[in-house]
Structure 1
Amino acid sequence: MLYRLIAFSTCFSLAWLTLSSQLSSQAGEILGSFPQLRLAETGESREDDEENGQRTPPCDPGGCPRPLMNRNIPHLITPRNSFVAGDRLLIRWYQPDGIDRYTVTLRRRRDGAMWTETVSGDSFVYEGDFLEPETWVVVTVDAHNGEQEGSSQFSVLSQEEQNQLHQQRSEQISPDLTPLEALFIEVELYEQFQAIANSIDRLYQAIATSPEHPDLYCRLASLYETHYPELEPLNLADNLQEQAAQRGATCDSR
């Protein structure tokens, strides 16, 4: 009887170990698929997480306070996983050293239609059919330097949402406001509708025409810090805050 009990216990233990191993393996496979699923659902680009490896300049003697980022990739700055409103789209990217010519491509997710243009500099304004309401578009920028493309995506707000935005803007922006006050209300409204690309575009337009206002640089830096912390290694917010400081203002940093 004792032998049978020992044999039964041994068999039960072996069976349990086998089952546990199988369950662990299956759980590992399921969990392993979660990052890819999240990447597909949120539209995040794999290039956001790329490290620079050997081609990144080494850290200074004080160490690396920030994660490395491949500065040979034209990382998309805007639009970047956000909504877009209206018939104007500012496409802006990080400009790797020594490169001035880029191929910008828009691909409409609905039917695969593509628009391509070769441009100079670090930005381009697109105005075309891909900005129709409820259009989902993938943006890529190719530096033709052997590195991967910078990529991201955006979705155009529905016509109803855009009408709501315009109505709120007309209600909140009164004639007695200064141009700067009206601008900041508009930027805030775009941000509330998650049209971050429009907020960034309006601020860059204002800086181009009124570069003497430090608050413009601070507000733009705040947008980058709040919505695109993954771009922190590119020093976008820091550079804007420095420009504000040169004009006599200190930006509130998160």
Structure 2
Amino acid sequence: MKNYTFLALLILLNFTPIKQMINLLNHFIIPPVNAITQTNQSPVGRIIKVDGKVFLKRHNWSEYYPAFVGTELYAEDKIKLTSQANLMAICYTNWKTWNLPKNKISQTMDGCLQAKSQCVKTPDGCVPLDVTRGINQVTITENIPYLISPRHTFLLPDKPLIFRWNAVANATRYTVIIKSPSEYIWETEVSENKVVYSGEIPLKTGIRYTVIVHADTEVSSLDEKSPFSKQDYLGMGFALISKSQQEEILAKSQELTQNLEGEAMVLSMAELYQKNGLNLEAIAILESFIESGNYTAAIYQMLGEIYQKIQLLKSAKDYYLKSVKLIGIDDVGGKAKIEAALGKVYANLGSKEEAIRWLKLAFNKYEKLGEFQQRDELKLSLEKLQEQLGEE
């Protein structure tokens, strides 16, 4: 079979125009045996409201386990409700809610179509939003004015732009610079660790901007080694989304606020924002919900995930720890996900022993669930960390 496929590809390469060739190639790629499909890899929705007992079974789980608010759903997941239960999910493809029927087994793909690839259109093409979450130690230190906000995010146009950075001990003055890839846009000097952009030079959509902060203690935000890959469009910078994107997102957000309330609305809104790369907006709505006196595992977990994505790992760690304390003992899958994330965050921060402890907890839960790919990935991470400890 492989030989016939190879010959077919050669024929295509000789007679097919380049623009059509890329699409056709996808139909001839043979996945490896037992490979997990893209349908399983990409979440298509999230549970935003649960009343009563709800149970979930993934394609490789041996049995059903309780499901809770905040659980992400994959296309092949199977869900069943007891006669007195209710469940609402938000679907990522159209941002509509899905209310599951009672007394039957439902499959997520019946209610939520497969999610589109997560990317934002930029001058560099369709750029993936997520960043690699591997175990590579990050070199952020407290003695440099590393940027906190806006960091690795798209922004809505026509909103006040506030820059915040880490306050450096003994620093009394900071010089703040905004630059594009081709020119310096703005410069000012302040005594606090934040400043509002004057807006005297309007920022444009489709351009990646970088903020540089120099402290009078002879340290700079440039001293932070970028944790983002060179292929990442945003890096530690920011960009404005287009007017058309803004209108589309605002229309969807208005629909969500009209149809939902409380935690369900906040989770859906934050998901909408971060799926469109608006990490700063997502953080703002989640943290505002907490400031209003609402403390839930799902809200803390989502904040941990966003801070991990933008590589502010101390904040990610703090939110994950709050989430893992609140999550129910029956939520085996949810707890495993947070414990695995904590293990990676601690490893990235250089705390190897603590990382090993959390990764072992997650390893045991994934083995219980039958999530063998996740289990095996954690096993490799554990072996690497244990080897590093032995060398120290």
Q: TM-score range by the shorter chain?
A: 0.5 to 0.7
CA distance in 1, matches of 2:255, 2:274: 17
Higher relative helix content: 1
| Aligned 8 A contact 2:162 2:196 in 1 | yes
Is 1:140 aligned with 2:201? no
Question: Which protein has the larger Cα radius of gyration, Structure 1 or Structure 2?
Answer: 1
Q: 1:182 aligns with which of 265, 268, 271?
A: 265
CA distance in 1, matches of 2:300, 2:307: 11
| Aligned 8 A contact 1:102 1:144 in 2 | yes
The aligned counterpart of 1:153 is 237
| Aligned 8 A contact 2:300 2:323 in 1 | yes
Q: For 1:54-92, what per-residue CA distance to the aligned partner results, in whole angstroms no more than 9, with x for missing partners?
A: xxxxxxxxxxx9555433112123322332113133433
CA distance in 2, matches of 1:134, 1:68: 29
The 3-state SS of whatever aligns with 1:174 is helix
Is 1:224 aligned with 2:307? yes
The aligned counterpart of 1:201 is 284
Q: For 1:111-168, what per-residue CA distance to the aligned partner results, in whole angstroms no more than 9, with x for missing partners?
A: 53314251524x5554735455445322112222112334842110111111111122
What RMSD in Å do the two structures reach over aligned CA positions?
3.3
CA distance in 2, matches of 1:85, 1:114: 19
CA distance in 2, matches of 1:130, 1:72: 32
The 3-state SS of whatever aligns with 1:198 is helix
Residues 199 and 111 of structure 1: CA distance in aligned 2, closer, same or farther (over 3 Å) = same
Q: CA deviation at 1:100?
A: 6.6
The aligned counterpart of 2:155 is 84
The aligned counterpart of 2:179 is 107
Identical residues among aligned pairs (%): 22
- The aligned length equals 183
- Structure 2 matches for 1:112-127, cutoff 5 A? 112-121=184-193, 123-124=194-195, 126=197
CA distance in 2, matches of 1:118, 1:133: 27
CA distance in 2, matches of 1:76, 1:142: 11
| Aligned 8 A contact 2:273 2:279 in 1 | yes
Q: What runs of 5+ residues in structure 2 fail to find an aligned partner?
A: 1-123, 125-135, 225-235, 329-334, 342-392
CA distance in 2, matches of 1:142, 1:239: 27
One-letter amino acid matched to 1:168 = K
The 3-state SS of whatever aligns with 2:264 is helix
Residues 143 and 218 of structure 1: CA distance in aligned 2, closer, same or farther (over 3 Å) = farther
The aligned counterpart of 2:252 is 168
| Aligned 8 A contact 1:84 1:195 in 2 | yes
One-letter amino acid matched to 1:228 = I
| Aligned 8 A contact 2:207 2:240 in 1 | yes
User: Once structures 1 and 2 are overlaid, which stretch shifts more, 182-191 or 105-114?
Assistant: 105-114
Residues 68 and 134 of structure 1: CA distance in aligned 2, closer, same or farther (over 3 Å) = closer
Query: Relative CO higher for 1 or 2, CA cutoff 8 Å, sep ≥ 6?
Result: 1
The aligned counterpart of 1:71 is 142
The 3-state SS of whatever aligns with 2:213 is strand
Is 1:95 aligned with 2:178? no
Q: What runs of 5+ residues in structure 1 fail to find an aligned partner?
A: 1-40, 42-64
CA distance in 1, matches of 2:203, 2:263: 27
The aligned counterpart of 1:210 is 292
What TM-score do the two structures reach when normalised by structure 2? 0.39
The aligned counterpart of 2:320 is 241
Q: CA deviation at 1:192?
A: 1.4
Q: CA deviation at 1:106?
A: 2.2
Residues 219 and 149 of structure 1: CA distance in aligned 2, closer, same or farther (over 3 Å) = same
Q: CA deviation at 1:110?
A: 6.2
